[in-house]
Structures are given as C-alpha cells and as structure tokens.
Structure 1
Amino acid sequence: MACQALVESLPAEADHPDVGGEERRKVGMPVYVMMPLDTVRKDGNGLNRRKAVEASLRALKSAGAEGIMVDVWWGIAESDGPGRYNFTGYMELMEMAKKNGLKVQAVMSFHQCGGNVGDSVTIPLPKWALEEMDKDQDLAYTDQGGRRNYEYVSLGADTLPALKGRTPVQCYGDFLRAFRDHFASFMGNTLVEIQVGMGPAGELRYPSYPESNGTWSFPGIGEFQCYDKYMLSSLKAAAEAVGKPEWGNAGPGDAGGYKNWPEDTAFFRREGGWNTPYGEFS
C-alpha cells in the first residue's frame, strides 16, 4: 500500500501531455552517477582511460544525468609527501564535467580502497602515513587477536601528532583546505557537494568485518576493534568516568569471532550481554 501511494503521488506523464523531455526531467530526482574507483591515475597526474571517461560523460549528459560523484583519494592526492598535494587528475575531471554541463559531488576518501565489497582496485593510504603506522602499529585498528588493520588511522590517535608532526585530524583538515583552494572557481557551480568519508570504506564504522584474506564472511558478527593502546586508553578513561574501571581493560570477552553468528555467543545472543548496563557501555 505504501508503494502504491508513492506511485500515485508521482506526477503522471499524462498530466503533462505537452511537456518536453527537459521539462519532464525537472519533475524527477536529479541523478548522480558514481565514477569508477580508479578514475584518476595512482600518481594523480591525469585520468585513466581518458577518452572513455569523456565519452561516458557525454553519454550521461545525453541520458539526462545531473552529474557525477567521484572519490578524491587521500592516498593519491597527498601521496608525494606531507602537505604536497597533487589534484591534477581531479582538476582534469572537473574541467571535463564542466565542459559537458555536468555537476560534481566529491567524496573526500581518507580510507584505503581495497578489501571491501565492490573494491576493484587497491589504493592504500599515503606511503608516508603508512611508514608512521609501521613505526607505531598502535596507530592501526587492532582486534583481540592482535591483527592490525591499515584501512584507516585509528580514531584513538586523532589527537596525536603521529603523522610527520601532524595529528590525523590536522591532516584531514589541511587536505580539505587544499582541495577548497584548488577548486575555488568550481565551488557552487560545477562542484555542488562535498562529502567526507569517516572510516573504513568511507563509512562511520570500525573495520569489524574485513573481507580481505577471508578474515570475515557474511553473516558473521565481526569483532571489536578496541585493542590498540590508544583505543584502550580511551576505553579506560570512559570506564573510569562512569565509575566502572573494571570495564576499561578490554572489549567483551564473550563476543565471539569474526565469523560467528549472534546466537553462537553469550554477548550477542538474544537477551545476551549486550542487553546489560555493561553491554550498553560497550
């Protein structure tokens, strides 16, 4: 019934018998098409398959698309070194979109590409950032077995000047300002939206279910990622703040592993530990 009501509420073509194709598009929703993950070359100096990209943009415009969406990879645009930004490939795409009358939604992607659903290419974090993570592996999310995940810098390190003298948050802020300065002339006309990725796969989450190397498979519950020393320090502080210091030593010990189903565990099963004051804290 809800679907029927929605359909009935949409403008019918018969209601606009004399309206041309351009006018019909105005009553619909604008469509933005996601560009391939590897649209920009890994060295940042241009587009992959440039002729194919240009032909695709022309086809999208002809089909009535409003614009495109593209990942702006941290691992590409700041790969040359801290504070050394190369937006050449993205500038070429922006100019091409403008030429074809398309708008652009840019996604600031501060995560690794590769190892998740739909990842057809691998684009790691900037080499200089990974070097610092190799020196201090607690900058990476860590599970109860000590596995490190390099998809994204751990939130536990947000305020630490661990990336060549800058905090991760400072790195992200500097990147955004550099992007703004490079594309100022496109803002508000061709470049109409900027989204910011907040974690692995660009999502506001922990890397609790990594597909790479078969670590996790659907419908496994995944694992807590609070075992790097910085996350443990944050956990300890939070536990002490609520008067339960005993909760701050580790994640739940009965939450199972990556591939377990909820009912396999004492913590996640129906009426399990998740449904307790400790579970709510966790």
Structure 2
Amino acid sequence: MLPLNVVTNDGEVNDPEALERGLRALSEIGVEGVMIDVWWGIVERDGPRKYDWAAYREVIDMIKDAGLKVQAVMSFHACGANVGDVVEIPLPDWVLEAGKKDPDLFFTDQYGYRNPECISLWADNAATLAGRTPMNTYKDFMISFRNTFKAELGTTLTEIAVGCGPCGELRYPAYPENRFAQKASQWRFPGIGEFQCYDQRSLLSLSRAASEAGHIEWGGSGPHDTGGYNNLPFETGFFRYDGGSWDSEYGSFFLSWYSSELVNHGDRMLEMTKRVFDKRGVTLAIKCAGVHWWYNVRSHAAELTAGYFNTRAGEFVSERDGYAPIVRVCKKHGARLNFTCVEMHDSDHPWYCYCGPEGLLRQIRSACARFDVPFAGENALCRFDQAAYDKIIKNCAGEGNDEEMWREGTMLPPMACFTFLRFNAELFSPFAFESFRIFVQRMRDETGLLDTSIGNTSDEEASTEDVDEISSESRVQLGL
C-alpha cells in the first residue's frame, strides 16, 4: 500500500523522487504491484465534475515505468478518523456544504453526532449533491477515472476496489476515533461502538421494516439499552452475553434489518462498479473490516454495531454467519473479497477483550471457499517482525489439500493476493527492508502467490542502492 498522502490534498505528488526510488526498489526485490487510494476529496475537490487527475497520472506512470501493477481503491471516504489515519483528507468541500443543508446526508448516532467521514448508505439515492445522488456521483467519478486511464486498464491497473464506507470498508462508522474532530464522540479500543441509524432516512427505513414485520412499535428508534462507544458488552442490556436484548425477537429483527441494509449497499456499489468497468480486464473487489474484538463472546458486540450480524446461537437467535451474505454479493458480481488481520494471533491482544482475529479470518475464508469467491488478504497493523511475517505466509498458503478436507468443507485454498501495509519510512530503513526482501522471497517460494518472472531478487546490490538513495528527509515525508 502506498502512503495515504502519496498525492497531497492540493493535488501534487508527494516527493516524486523518493517515491520513484522506492517503487524501483520494490520492483527489484520481486514485489508485483502497489495499492493506491484514489481520494474523492482530492480529485473532485474544486467542485462537482471538476476532476483533477494530473497527480494520479504522474504516480501511475511512475508505477508503470517501474514494472509494477496497481490496485486502485475508489476512496469515497475521508481519512483521519481511524486507526492508521496519520493524515487528514476530508470529503470535498462542496459535499460537506451539502451536508450542512441536509444533515441526514451523514451517518448519525444516538446522540445526534453526524459523522462526516462518508455519506450514509440511506442517502444513496437522494438527489442532494448539486442535483445528483451519491450513487450518480460515485459513478461519474469512476467513469472519469476509467476514461482517463483507459490505456492502463487490464495491464497496469489490474484491480478496482470500490470503497463502500469508512476506511473504504463495507461497514458502518461504528468506532470512529475522530482525532481531527475533538468535539466528536471518541471511540477507544476495545469499546463496542454504536449503531449508526439515527438520521431521518434510516429511521424511515426502520419504521417501514417494523410495520412489515407487524411490530410498528419497533420502528421508532434504535435499541435503547446499547450503552456508548466505549462500553463493554456486559455493561449493557443489549449486548450482555446471557439474556441480552440481541438474543430476543426484537433483537433479531433489528439486527437483521441493520445488517441487510449494509449488504444491500454493497450490492448496489458493486453492481454500479461492474457496469463502469465491464470488459476492461480488471478484477473488482470490496473490503470487509476486521472487527475482531469481542469475537469470542456470544453477542459479538463490536461486529453488530459495525453491521455484521455474526452471533452464536441463543434462545431467539440461531448461530449466524454474518459474512456469508457479503460473500454471496461478491459471487453475484464476480468480485474479490479483501480482508485484514492476516498477520494477527489471538494472543497479540489482551485476554479480557476476547479478541479472535484467527477465528474471524478462518470464518470469512471458509465462507469464500464455500461460494468460490477469491479471497485477498492484508495485514491490519504495519509490522516488520518475524512472527508477523511467518503468520502471513502460513495464512496465504492455505490449509489442507486432501480429498476428505474438500468433502468436509474445511479446506482453505491459498489466498488470491496479499497486500502489505505499508510503503513508509520504516520499510525503507536498511534492516527492515532486508527483512522485507526475505519475506517477499519466501512468499514466492512458499505460497506461489508471486509471479516469478517479476523482479530480480538476486540483484540485491541494486535494490540496496535504491533504498540508500532515499534520503532521511524523504523517508520522513513518505511516512507522514
């Protein structure tokens, strides 16, 4: 993954000389390509349909010259409110202005806080953006991207991932850190987060669903006993392990509605993206979030507020695979599912958070295997230690290859792709880069994921020279 600010907010390439050397160094050790966020807030910053692709053209030309491929993320969200967001890139000013006129354009929590990180999925088809709907606006943006880079589609540009929510992930903004908006609600790990369904459009949808279910009394608001962003499950009436409202007829209704609205949004986004890039030779993808805290309790509280109805069996709620509906949407549109946590062990986290990144990863990979959907992985945190590398390689290689495992559905095929987070100053320090070079070599030798015709891993002297040429000042700038 390239730096979040490889293109600045003003539409300039951030230190192109250092970027070029870094790309060349990655190519020479056998890396296949890079991922780049294509920020809505940068490209269309000057007004509706005023697209500025100049800096992205310069970056993609550099990537192409280095012999690398590109995964382009259509980033229709803001940067600055989540883990790893070290820069601030807001939505376009004209979108934020539209939000002042129509506050329900943004997700809203029970306290009335409007989150300007991304547009609410309930506003997908509301003509509030200078006469266009958000879906029309996203489509126009991607058509402009397609027309600008049509020569690279299918060759240099091999994957288009469409952002479907905060961090580009298909989820609700249930756990924002909001370090750049200090008056906003502040989530901290391992808080359960909050439901984001208190704008007028979402409440209208909830009311309609409650009426159809024959319980009009369920449609006036979200659950009343869910606590706040930083509560723990056992501190609330809704999420407590035994006897919580999640495990009730009402809880099942609300969580089914809340999660299905998210899945439908992903379906709409992928369908639109497929129409824009059909027959262009690119792989389509969406990304799910790795909400691994409280995974090992029955209510899966943090996943529920994020929109994943993934629970163990209870009195009223049967055991549910909250990710299978998303995988089915990927299957429907021929898309790849991107997921994180590939480097994590359960033991990396405090025991009292009941984290389960290993089980969560296995669950989602198993769903992808069942529906024959390609699975692509990422590491959640930027790590260069051997334990993380070993875990990534083990996961990428898959598990099991005998006929009995195939019949039982317990085999996990190799990942389709792995993207390392992140191209930054630490990566290009001599020690880290040498360990990363060995990691890339092992990925090729032990997983078969890398194209052996790409790069020249024996040419260590050249790659080291490129790393050394990146000045300390440039390293700091690239790692902003």
TM-score, structure 2 normalization: 0.51
Partner Cα distance (2:208, 2:10) in 1: 42
Match of 2:311? none
Q: Name the SS of the counterpart of 1:194 in structure 2.
A: strand
Residue of structure 2 aligned with 1:192, choices 158, 161, 166: 158
Aligned residue number for residue 225 of structure 2: 254
- Structure 1 runs not aligned, ≥5 long: 1-33
Count of aligned residue pairs for this structure pair: 248
1:127-166 correspondence to structure 2 within 5 Å: 127-166=93-132
Looking at structure 1, the residues matched to 192 and 115 of structure 2 have their Cα atoms a distance apart, in angstroms, of: 17
Superposition deviation, residue 43 in structure 1: 2.1
Q: Once the two structures are superposed, what CA deviation does each residue of 1:149-201 show, in whole Å capped at 9, x if it has no partner? A: 00001111111100110001111111111110000000111111000110011
Once the two structures are TM-superposed, the CA of residue 134 in structure 1 deviates from its matched residue by: 1.2
Matched residue type, 1:157 = A
Residue 180 (1) aligns with residue 146 (2):
yes
* 1:8-157 paired onto structure 2 within 5 Å: 34-44=1-11, 46-157=12-123
SS at match of 1:184: coil
In 2, Cα distance between the equivalents of 1:168 and 1:281? Answer: 28
1:238 aligns with 2:238: no
Aligned to 1:246, the other structure's residue is in SS state helix
Tell me which residue corresponds to 1:228: 199
Q: 1:280 aligns with which of 252, 264, 270?
A: 252
Distance 1:244 1:215 in 2: 34
> Which residue of the partner structure matches residue 412 of structure 2?
none
Q: Single out whichever of 116-125 and 271-280 deviates more from structure 2.
A: 271-280
Give the root-mean-square deviation of aligned CA atoms: 1.0
Shift of 1:222: 0.9
- Counterpart of 1:19 in structure 2 is none
How far does residue 245 in structure 1 lie from its aligned partner after superposition? 1.2
Distance 2:136 2:253 in 1: 29
Distance 1:193 1:216 in 2: 32
SS in 2 for 1:185: coil
- 2:137 is aligned to 171
CA-CA distance at 1:50 after TM superposition: 0.7
Q: Distance in 2 between matches of 1:94 and 1:217?
A: 36
Rounded Cα–Cα distance in structure 1 between residues aligned with 2:220 and 2:160: 39
* 1:162 aligned partner, one-letter code: T
Match of 2:234 among 256, 263, 267: 263
Deviations 1:249-270 (A, max 9, x none): 1110011111100000111001
Q: Distance in 2 between matches of 1:152 and 1:53?
A: 29
Distance 2:219 2:239 in 1: 19
Cα distance in 2 for residues equivalent to 1:185 and 1:172: 21
1:226 partner SS: coil
With normalisation by structure 1, the TM-score equals 0.86
More divergent stretch after superposition (115-124 vs 234-243): 234-243
Please state if 1:216 is matched with 2:174: no
Q: Distance in 2 between matches of 1:78 and 1:148?
A: 22
**1:119 partner letter:** D
Q: Using the TM superposition, give the Cα deviation of residue 215 of structure 1 relative to its aligned residue in structure 2, in angstroms.
A: 1.1
SS at match of 1:35: coil
**Alignment partners' CA distance in 2, 1:100 and 1:94:** 10
Distance in 2 of aligned mates of 1:93 and 1:153: 28
CA distance in 2, matches of 1:281, 1:123: 37
CA distance in 1, matches of 2:247, 2:55: 50
What amino acid maps onto 1:42 in structure 2?
N
Identity of aligned residues (%): 56
